[in-house]
Amino acid sequence: MAAITSAIPLLPGKAEAWRRWIQDLQGSRHAEYVAALSRQGVSAARFWISEAGGGEVIIVYFEAQDPDAIGTTWATSQHPFDVWYRQKLQEFHGLDVTQMRRYRLDPVFIWPEQE
């Protein structure tokens, strides 16, 4: 299992609405979200919110067999939940995942060493 982590700034004034959205993903839309994560091969997900540089930033952590494929799947899926999710990413972060470039991260320090 591999992992991918990202830091994604929230648009100004969106923190409270983002928190309500996360509550929806944990509540009324939980089953849909779990199904979406499963479709993308995600086995674990964690989000944190923090203040940074005068604004809020979301730290996102996913574990998956192929974490590099997660963004591609979100960007191309026409499943109604995935389309809605992309719209929310645009609303809260200003992200258009259909236009994002993928960057490969080169590990420079891992402890303890993985075999």
**What's residue 107's pLDDT?**
73
The rounded distance, in Å, linking the Cα atoms of 8 and 6 is 6
pLDDT digits (tens, 9 = 90+) for 35-85: 999 998 999 999 999 998 889 999 999 999 888 788 788 888 999 999 999
Residue given tokens 């309500």 in the structure block: 20
In a domain? residue 115:
no
Structure tokens at 76: 């191309």
In a domain? residue 105:
no
Overall domain count for the chain:
1
pLDDT at 102 over 80: no
Residue 95 or residue 115, greater confidence: 95
Burial grade of 85 (CB within 10 A; 0-12, 13-18, 19 or more): buried
The CATH number linked to 44 is: 3.30.70
Instruction: Find the domain containing 13 and state its range.
Output: 2-93
Q: Whole-prediction pTM value?
A: 0.82
In a domain? residue 101:
no
Q: Give the percent of the chain with pLDDT over 90.
A: 57
CA 17 to chain CA mean position, Å:
16
pLDDT digits (tens, 9 = 90+) for 9-22: 999 999 999 999 99
In a domain? residue 33:
yes
Phi, psi of 14 (to 5 degrees): -100, 0
The rounded distance, in Å, linking the Cα atoms of 49 and 58 is 5
In a domain? residue 72:
yes
**What's residue 83's pLDDT?**
94
Chain-wide mean pLDDT for the chain? 88
Helices (H), the chain: 15-26, 30-39, 68-76, 80-93
**What's residue 45's pLDDT?**
94
